[in-house]
Structure 1
Amino acid sequence: MAIEEEQEKLKAEFDSKLGPDAFHEGWQSLLKVDSAFFSASVSLASVPRRKSYLSRKEQVLIALAVDCAATHLYAPGIREHVTSAAKEGATRDEILEVIELSSTLGIHACNIGVPLLVEVLKEEGKYLEDITRPFDQTQQNLQQEFTEKRGYWHTFWEDFLRLDPEFFAGYLEFSSLPWIKNVEGTSGEGKGALEPKLKELVYCAFDAASTHLYVPGLKLHMRNALGYGATPQEILEVLEIATLLSLHTAHVAAPIIEELTGASN
């Protein structure tokens, strides 16, 4: 089979499995420089779409969470998934809410760093009063407010709240917005645009991504998602979509290879 004919066949397969709107420069170059890997990549990427435990709109929003996370920021994917989400019926508010939820990733610097700081202080025998004193009334109120707005509490917040209630309060306001804001046209007032289950699956997506792999958060949000009615198959599908981040290696590299060496095959 001629090279052009083979590529046309593979592109038709891509369109049938992933949709023509998903075809961007990275895919196009990969098709030219390594058609076999292109085909294998399409097969992998199409599995969640074919099984569809999550709706197509939910799948696209999960993929957006992976690509827009601060640890990845894959602009071609962000553009693709925003476009696809809108075509699948996602509203502007729903798309923006994925961005808002994904923007909480940075707090993991504190979730990991503060317990380590406390561990070091204990080992050094320094500032023990600061890390053992009970919550004052302000801190108790913040803990209650967090629990009410976010729907859970976890022990990894306690040292953070104890050592810097001001920054904790700032993060509480920042992270709670998707859970409490009024969105026109939604069923529940003051609950944001997305259902709680999907919010928790968004957290799972960027925590599970290979650029982050934040185990405490992933386990917590899996538990929360189950509590909101998620099935194991839905959570697994989130992990499968997050796995597709690895395809971006070829999507970024293939155009460069094509430019510098030419597509000789």
Structure 2
Amino acid sequence: MVNQETTKTSELVKDHEASYKKDLGYWNSTLSYLAEKDPEFFEIYKKLVATPYKNNILDAKSRELINVALSSAPTNLSTDTLRTHIENAIDQGATEKEILEVFKLVSVLGMHTCAVGVPILVEETGAFADAKLDAHQEELKEKFIQKMGYWHSFRDTLLLNDEQFFESYYQFLTNPWENDILSPKLKEFIYIAVDIATTHLFAVGTRVHIQSALRQGATFEEIMEVLKITSAQGVDTFYAGIPILRSVLAEKGNK
């Protein structure tokens, strides 16, 4: 009886694997565990994460590059899902250069420390409250706006406080925009994803990059797909938790 049940479970997991691979293009031990231990929930899980893949509003490579961005973001750093999505992105035709460009775009997220922290510091200290940019600083500001299409007042403070730091930040931010390895619209989708991710929820940046994406020709439906892909980030809980759960259970079972 036990062997029959084991065989039946194994066959069911194989069916889940085949269906999941067909829809999403990948499979791993975390998914196997869910399919085996809780097949009813697995179907719910699959329905959630597979919807953007079935809609085909975004192309397969773009979907995976957005997932690479979400997994590699400094607010997440989910190495297990990152490997899965890098492998899947390459399977969908992504190149090494394209994936590196994703990393470059996402790494600038660290500057949100200044985006949030500098205005608070100015409010609490009054520093540079009445200061005006000089001619050279105005030129740097205009150069930034011409390149990126947006500005926020915290950058005025960066300029007034440390021009060298501002220029290095500008170069770091704009380097991926000096080439066409990724399309401008996809770059904005990546920015939207990492800004609105559950682990960040940076509303100011989300609005800026939705506006920029619309200027690049993005549609409501496309941006909605980015939000759907991003909302599935919660499944990283399983990728972090299940290996630890299995390890602890194995240790307890050996005692």
TM-score (norm 1): 0.86
Specify which of 58, 81, 99 is matched with residue 54 of structure 1: 58
Task: Look up the SS of the partner of 2:129 in the other structure.
Answer: helix
Q: Which residue of 2 aligns with 1:76?
A: 80
CA offset digits 1:15-35 (Å, max 9, x no partner): 22222xx21222222223322
The answer on 1:96 being equivalent to 2:100 is: yes
Tell me if the contact between 1:25 and 1:251 (Cα under 8 Å) persists in the aligned partners: no
Q: Which residue of 2 aligns with 1:234?
A: 222
Task: Look up the SS of the partner of 2:97 in the other structure.
Answer: helix
Offset, 1:156: 4.0
Amino acid at match of 1:24: N
* Pairing of 1:126-145 with structure 2 (within 5 A): 127=127, 130-145=128-143
Q: Which residue of 2 aligns with 1:252?
A: 240
Q: Which residue of 1 aligns with 2:124?
A: 120
Tell me if the contact between 1:17 and 1:42 (Cα under 8 Å) persists in the aligned partners: no
CA offset digits 1:119-176 (Å, max 9, x no partner): 1124xxxx4xx33211012211211221233233333422332333222111001111
Tell me if the contact between 1:111 and 1:156 (Cα under 8 Å) persists in the aligned partners: yes
Specify which of 71, 89, 103 is matched with residue 85 of structure 1: 89
Where do 5+ consecutive residues of structure 1 fail to align?
A: 181-190
* Pairing of 1:185-264 with structure 2 (within 5 A): 191-261=179-249
Q: Which residue of 2 aligns with 1:154?
A: 152
Tell me if the contact between 1:29 and 1:258 (Cα under 8 Å) persists in the aligned partners: no
Amino acid at match of 1:200: E
Amino acid at match of 2:74: A
2: CA distance, partners of 1:89 / 1:13: 22
Q: Which residue of 1 aligns with 2:17?
A: 11
Task: Look up the SS of the partner of 1:131 in the other structure.
Answer: coil
User: How large is the Cα RMSD of the aligned pairs?
Assistant: 1.7
TM-score (norm 2): 0.89
Tell me if the contact between 1:204 and 1:217 (Cα under 8 Å) persists in the aligned partners: yes
The answer on 1:106 being equivalent to 2:110 is: yes
Tell me if the contact between 1:68 and 1:99 (Cα under 8 Å) persists in the aligned partners: yes
Tell me if the contact between 1:29 and 1:255 (Cα under 8 Å) persists in the aligned partners: no
- Once the two structures are overlaid, the 10-residue window that deviates more, 81-90 or 205-214, is 81-90
Offset, 1:101: 0.2
Where do 5+ consecutive residues of structure 2 fail to align?
A: 251-255
Q: Which has the higher contact order (CA 8 A, sep 6+)?
A: 1
Tell me if the contact between 2:114 and 2:154 (Cα under 8 Å) persists in the aligned partners: no
Q: Percent same amino acid among aligned pairs?
A: 36
Offset, 1:50: 0.4
